[in-house]
Structure 1
């Protein structure tokens, strides 16, 4: 039997591939650096026989017979070292390698650990099987690095996960692709292990390795959402700002630059926090790296001003966008329309709506909802109802809050019967559930008009939906009965309110 020859791997930092986008840097993780020069474990003669037998079966037999025969010959299964060497020999056939991995898990032929997971991930990565490699690494993260028991190194400090260490030291043996580390970061992000994702990126950057732009943006986005814009900026600076030279005079030269998606991610984080000052810093940074804003950039910036009612500033951005030849899309139109509706400048909002239609941009339900709410604010119910009918013709279903605003405005203008018809129309949609406010405002309107009987039917329906009687409901009926001169029922309702413990604000 010929023993398999295991070649010694060079340190991972010696990889010279344009797609890796990294350069050398001094390391602050000597324990990781030493692990990267390792390779696959050597095989004893007995192990070599098992590996050779399995490889012959996998290569020479086909279809179901291959798997049945493999299981019958190797009832005892495989050690992870044997499994890794088998994958090494069939690494040019990613489909077969993945099939073997899945079969071995399903039939418990191998107690998979970081070595076997890493071997499979490398085979898939070197053949650009990104989805399959990512799915496998997610499984590795879930089974090997649960959140309840993070890996701790011998010095008692939380160190990198073992799957990362193993991917590093087996990288050269499988002639893997650099993005396997990006996929590991993405796997941690997708299983909500943000701490590990940040840790791995910091280690890679300390060694001069930059994650891809997609992975970088995903990490910044996740950190910003979880910990705020300041934390997102820290990650941005760590990935994209050149580090000073170390004691050996070697610094990190950036090979990956931030793109418009990076800056849009940071702008979104600032927008969520209502920060209107720092976006200028982002725009200056974009200019310094030669990154042009796109229509989404302008939409975010305009949204910040619209939220604060600063429509002149928002309009200035709209005109700047037009001057640069950037065509507005549905999001930018909706953003500015919404802003004008909030400040009750409905003529400008309607002008934008007409401009959008002339530009052959189809309105969305958001477009109609904002316009309806705006018209309700200024008391133009007829215009709001025309827009509502348009939404029905287009098959849109409005948010419950928009229906509430429409019903409030209609009842204030004594158009209760029309409001009730709208509620009935909306309730025909399976996904629509009326709110307490919708019932309360209609009941109040019916009592104002003296239609107590219809109001009682609506109150019974409301109770059937699980809404208990509120102070507003009692007040509506008390007012209604008082207008009819039925003092006895007024007093009874007051007593009932006391017994039920219903007060204002209940």
Structure 2
């Protein structure tokens, strides 16, 4: 009895240390326990396998199996489920299948969690058909699906662009009484419908959620509100905000920032300021996101004196300016024509140690092109160590507007050579521009590269 109690106590200590990512200390506990005569069991090793797979890598987790064999402890389905989760995290389908094959050889039957993980891996790799086959053949027909199973398939279908299939499956399960949806299920479907542009259907699901006895949460309302604004349906977005407010979910800055940001992006600055006033009246403190939106609004108006006051206020409130703050300042300086000031601030950003200042550089390049300083934009473009499709698209698009099709074609070819994409409309403008300028050889070269890129893609 003492031994069992000691092993249980050891497992609690090991589990606590693993959750804190202190794996070395967890290992020390096990070594000390063995010296005192308390032997680890399958729970001990399963805890280690899960921790190594989660915080280190799959290979480190798999090495624990050798220690289990030495201790004459047989791994179980929980052991392999942790390894499958590690393989899925690494997006290694081959390792997932190898582990399932290994389970079969040693006589361990996969359970619903094993197949949930495999299904999730298929979805993340963009293979929804294979994921649905796992659901139908291995889970639905042979095992008892859990709520996690259903939520996994709804999420996977929505993220892979099969929102209609997710909704059809949801209705079918409802009609047959197979599945009782949870709040998270409704949130998944609402998010999927919003992302696919089906706002009316999303509002319908939101209404259904309200009638189901479940309470929508802040995430539910914010999702719908955000996509209403993105679709420029401001009245609907405000209606959702007021419903959210009525139900007591406007307790932090996030919903106010969402509304203010939406108005600011469309130039409705008076409306944007009104929501900041509402937030202040409610006694909600500004976070860095709030300040960044205000910085953006002042930059749009060209009120850089106000921006300086805000930067001082951010410092005094104990917050720290982030990449978005500085990027907004670069964009604001460009807007008012202070290109030299923007370039200086860009150089200052490079000294701050951010992971990447790509967005700021993209803003700078785009603004320079728009104010007719394409030569300076090209100089910055050449010096940029990191570029993305937005960088190339901006340069190509603006060079075409200046009818500099030859330089635009060179930038486009550089983009395609790096496996990146430029909008097809922009590609066509480059080809037609070259042809209209009599540069037929260059036009054919670009056309050939575009066709090759599409075949590879």
TM-score by length of 2: 0.57
Of residues 297, 301, 309, the one that matches 2:259 is 301
Distance 1:460 1:279 in 2: 42
Structure-1 residue corresponding to 2:151: 186
> CA, structure 1 residues 257+210, in 2 after alignment: closer, same or farther (shift >3 Å)?
farther
Of residues 355, 358, 371, the one that matches 1:398 is 358
Q: How does 1:306-455 map to 2 (within 5 A)?
A: 306-395=264-353, 396-399=356-359, 400-408=361-369, 412=373, 422-423=380-381, 425=383, 427-429=384-386, 435=392
Structure 1: unaligned runs, 5 residues or longer: 1-61, 71-92, 125-131, 152-159, 169-179, 243-253, 448-455, 476-492
> CA, structure 1 residues 469+271, in 2 after alignment: closer, same or farther (shift >3 Å)?
closer
1:375/1:384 contact within 8 Å kept: yes
1:260/1:293 contact within 8 Å kept: no
Structure-1 residue corresponding to 2:202: 232
Size of the alignment, in residue pairs? 341
Distance 2:238 2:427 in 1: 51
> CA, structure 1 residues 163+238, in 2 after alignment: closer, same or farther (shift >3 Å)?
farther
Distance 2:180 2:412 in 1: 60
> CA, structure 1 residues 334+146, in 2 after alignment: closer, same or farther (shift >3 Å)?
closer
Distance 1:410 1:461 in 2: 22
Structure-1 residue corresponding to 2:102: 106
> CA, structure 1 residues 279+111, in 2 after alignment: closer, same or farther (shift >3 Å)?
farther
Larger Rg: 1
Of residues 117, 131, 134, the one that matches 1:135 is 117
How many angstroms does 1:339 deviate by?
3.2
Q: Which has the higher contact order (CA 8 A, sep 6+)?
A: 1
Of residues 226, 236, 241, the one that matches 1:278 is 236
SS for the counterpart of 1:186 is helix
2:209/2:216 contact within 8 Å kept: no
TM-score by length of 1: 0.52
Q: Can you list the C-alpha shifts for 1:386-426, whole angstroms capped at 9, x where unaligned?
A: 322221221352335313145447865xx96x76764554x
**Structure whose residues are more often helix by fraction:** 2
Of residues 174, 183, 188, the one that matches 1:213 is 183
Structure-2 residue corresponding to 1:241: 211
How many angstroms does 1:183 deviate by?
0.5
How many angstroms does 1:228 deviate by?
2.4
Structure-2 residue corresponding to 1:127: none
> CA, structure 1 residues 107+335, in 2 after alignment: closer, same or farther (shift >3 Å)?
same
> CA, structure 1 residues 393+411, in 2 after alignment: closer, same or farther (shift >3 Å)?
farther
Report the RMSD for the aligned CA atoms in angstroms.
Answer: 5.3
How many angstroms does 1:111 deviate by?
12
How many angstroms does 1:224 deviate by?
1.5
How many angstroms does 1:364 deviate by?
2.5
How many angstroms does 1:190 deviate by?
4.1
Distance 1:147 1:420 in 2: 45
> CA, structure 1 residues 230+99, in 2 after alignment: closer, same or farther (shift >3 Å)?
closer
Structure 2: unaligned runs, 5 residues or longer: 1-66, 85-97, 417-425, 448-457
